[in-house]
Structure 1
C-alpha cells in the first residue's frame, strides 16, 4: 500500500464506482476494474477502502441517505408509504445496482434511519409493533426486489437483442393461459410502472384491512 496519501479523492472513487456499475454491472465489478477506470494502481483505492465490501457498504449508505432526504413528511400513513415506495424505487434506479448493494450490505445508521422513518409512518395506526415491523419490511423488500428484477430483465434483453437473428421465442402452445395473455400483450407489464403500482396497492390494501380490523 502507498505510504503517502494518493493523489485521488474518495469522491472520485465513488463516482467511478457508480460509472463502472452502470457500464459493467455488479457481477463484473472488481477493485481491479475500478483501478483501471480510475487509471490508478489498485493499492491506491485500498488507501480509502480496505475491501470491496467496505466500498459496497459506503455506496449503500449513500443511497440510504439519498432516500431519507426525499421521504414524504405529510399525509396519512397510506399516502406516505405509497409515495415512499415510489421515492425508493426512483433512487434505486438512479444509482446503478443499488438494490443489490443494499442486499449485500449490513444495515448501518443510514439504513436504520430510513427504516425508522418508514416505521414512523405507521405509528399513528392501531397496528401492533410486530405488525408495523412486519408490514414495513414487506413494503421495503418488495420495492428493492422489484428494482433488482428490473435490472435482471434489462440484462437479459441485451443478449436477446444481440442475437436477434436467432430464434429466441418460447413455444407457449402447451400453456393456454400464458399463450392467451401473451397474445393480449400482457407480458409487457413486466418491469412496468403499472405492475409496480399494482403490487404496492395490493400490499397497502392488505395493511389497511388489518388497520381497520385492529
Structure 2
C-alpha cells in the first residue's frame, strides 16, 4: 500500500529524483509514478510544477539554514561568508540544485526569520539597512550564479560534462585564440578554490565600498 500522500512526501520524493532526472526530466507524472499514485493526485497539493519548485526551494533553504551559524560576536564577514558557503554546499547536493532554487518563491516565513538574524549582525557592524540588504543580496547572487555554472560542468560531485574538458575545449577553440583556449583550466576546474577567492573579493569589496562600518574589516 503506498504511503499517505502529503506535500512533504512529494517534496522529499522530488528532491530525491532530481539527482536521477535533472530539472528538465523532473515531471509531476514521474513523481506520481515513483509514489504509485495518479498524476492528478499531486494537483491537490501543487497546482503546477512551479508550485512544486517553490516548495523544493523552500526545503533547500531550510536545509541550508539548519547548519550552525557563527557566534553572535563573529565579524560580519564571517556571517556573510557562512551564508554563501552553506547555500553552495546545500545546492551542490542536488543535480540542478541552483536552477531549482533560483527565481522561486519561498513558502512560509522561515526565510524572514533567518534574514532578520543576518541583517541584525550587519546593522550592528555599522551598515545602514539598504547597505546590509545589498551586501546580503550580492553574496546570494554570487553564490547562485557560481553554482549554476559549477553544476553545468559537474552536474553531480565526481561527474563531469566532457564538453568542458579543458583539453578538448582548447582544441575546439583553436590556436587563433590562444588566451581563450588556455583559459579552460581557470574557467572549468578548481571550483572550491575559485569560490573562496571570489568570496574573498566580494567581502573585501563590500568592506571598502560601504560607509559607516565598525569593527574588523
1:16 is matched with 13
Question: Any stretches of 5+ residues in structure 1 without a counterpart?
Answer: 1-5
Higher mean Cα deviation, 110-119 or 67-76? 110-119
Q: Equivalents in 2 of 1:213, 1:21: separation in Å?
A: 44
2:98 is matched with 99
1:3 is matched with none
Aligned 8 A contact 2:153 2:160 in 1 = yes
Aligned 8 A contact 2:28 2:39 in 1 = yes
**Residue 202 of structure 1: CA displacement?**
0.5
2:26 is matched with 29
Matched, 1:186 2:186: yes
Q: Equivalents in 2 of 1:71, 1:172: separation in Å?
A: 48
**Residue 123 of structure 1: CA displacement?**
1.4
Aligned 8 A contact 1:67 1:114 in 2 = no
Q: Equivalents in 1 of 2:85, 2:54: separation in Å?
A: 23
Matched, 1:116 2:116: yes
Task: Count matched residues.
Answer: 202
Aligned 8 A contact 1:126 1:211 in 2 = no
Matched, 1:126 2:144: no
**Residue 18 of structure 1: CA displacement?**
1.0
Q: CA offsets per residue over residues 34-82 of structure 1, 9 Å max, x none? A: 1122232102222332322222121111122222222523111112222
SS of 2:82's equivalent? helix
- The two structures have a TM-score, normalised by structure 1, of 0.79
Aligned 8 A contact 2:126 2:212 in 1 = no
- The two structures have a TM-score, normalised by structure 2, of 0.78
Aligned 8 A contact 1:97 1:151 in 2 = yes
Q: RMSD of aligned C-alpha atoms?
A: 2.8
**Residue 211 of structure 1: CA displacement?**
4.5
Q: CA offsets per residue over residues 86-130 of structure 1, 9 Å max, x none? A: 111111222443322332312442233333333223112223222
SS of 1:170's equivalent? helix
Aligned 8 A contact 2:91 2:97 in 1 = yes
2:42 is matched with 45
Aligned 8 A contact 2:14 2:31 in 1 = yes
Aligned 8 A contact 1:31 1:42 in 2 = yes
